[in-house]
Amino acid sequence: MSLGLQPGESVDFVVCGDCMRGVDHGDSVPVRKQRVYLPGDVVVVRRRDHWSAHRFLGYAPSMHGIVALTQADEAAERDPAALVGAIVGRAQRGVSSFDRIAALCRYARALVIRLAEGRR
């Protein structure tokens, strides 16, 4: 699912949609496989029926292993969690301090919600 890229290798993706700051519809964006992703990075994730380039919020444990939490900048809710192996890589675009802090805030909210759901 990860295209078999090794850390440091990259592939170009053409963006479809306009839900992310700093990445416009039609842009060709190099995506590089990393060992670790930081909150605020724009990552490409292979989903069951599509690819998404959304903001990485952080990692979380799940019954299926470690998952990645992501969310589009223009979305009210986060994406379904994806196994870390489904991350293709990080879009090679700069990330503003604002986007890093916003991702950390969304990550904290997601962890609180996951904990609350686990206690039910």
d(CA 110, CA 119): 14
All domains of the chain, ordered by start, with CATH? 10-118 (2.10.109)
Q: Please, which residues bridge with residue 11 across strands?
A: 31
Query: Which tokens go with 23?
Result: 């990445």
d(CA 89, CA 119): 33
Whole-model pTM over 0.85: yes
Q: Where are the alpha helices (DSSP H) in the chain?
A: 97-118
Q: What is the pLDDT of residues 70-107, one digit of tens each?
A: 999 999 999 999 999 999 999 998 999 999 999 999 99
C-alpha angle 18-74-17 in degrees, rounded to nearest 5? 15
pLDDT tens string 34-52: 999 999 999 999 988 888 9
Choose between 56 and 16: higher pLDDT.
56
Compute the distance between CA of residue 47 and CA of residue 86 in angstroms, rounded to an integer: 7
